[in-house]
Amino acid sequence: AQSVTQPDIHITVSEGASLELRCNYSYGATPYLFWYVQSPGQGLQLLLKYFSGDTLVQGIKGFEAEFKRSQSSFNLRKPSVHWSDAAEYFCAVGRLGNEKLTFGTGTRLTIIP
């Protein structure tokens, strides 16, 4: 069975600083990997996805993520965070031929001035 671990429950970053959110997955074959963002009181918005090919993927709002098969990781990064990036971030894993996703428990990001 596939699973996702987001080891950081809560991260605090200063505005303008760089950000890295961790995601580790467990799955035997090549996974489909996703990052979603959820602002308070809102639904989830897809930030970026990895299906195949280039292991560094670019997403919306200046985010990027890198797929590292050897580390079973798909970490999310942003070079300089903005106060509007404060939200909860979810990593998810799926696979070819299966339309179900498994989500991590989320990382809450707080931005301090």
Partner 1 sequence: DAGITQSPRHKVTETGTPVTLRCHQTENHRYMYWYRQDPGHGLRLIHYSYGVKDTDKGEVSDGYSVSRSKTEDFLLTLESATSSQTSVYFCAISEANEQYFGPGTRLTVT
CA 93 to chain centroid: 10
Contacts of partner 1 in 50-79 (CB under 8 A): 51
Nearest-approach distance from CB 69 to partner 1, in angstroms: 19
What amino acid occupies position 79? P
Contacts of partner 1 in 9-48 (CB under 8 A): 9, 32, 34, 36, 42-46
β-pairing, 10-14 with 107-112?
A: parallel
DSSP 15: T
Nearer to partner 1, 5 or 73 (CB): 5
Q: Which of 100, 91, 86 is nearest to 41 (CA)?
A: 86
- H/E segment holding residue 3: strand 3-5
Residue 106 in the binding site for partner 1 (CB under 8 A): yes
Residues making contact with partner 1 (CB under 8 A): 6, 9, 32, 34, 36, 42-46, 49, 51, 90, 92, 94, 96, 99-101, 103-106
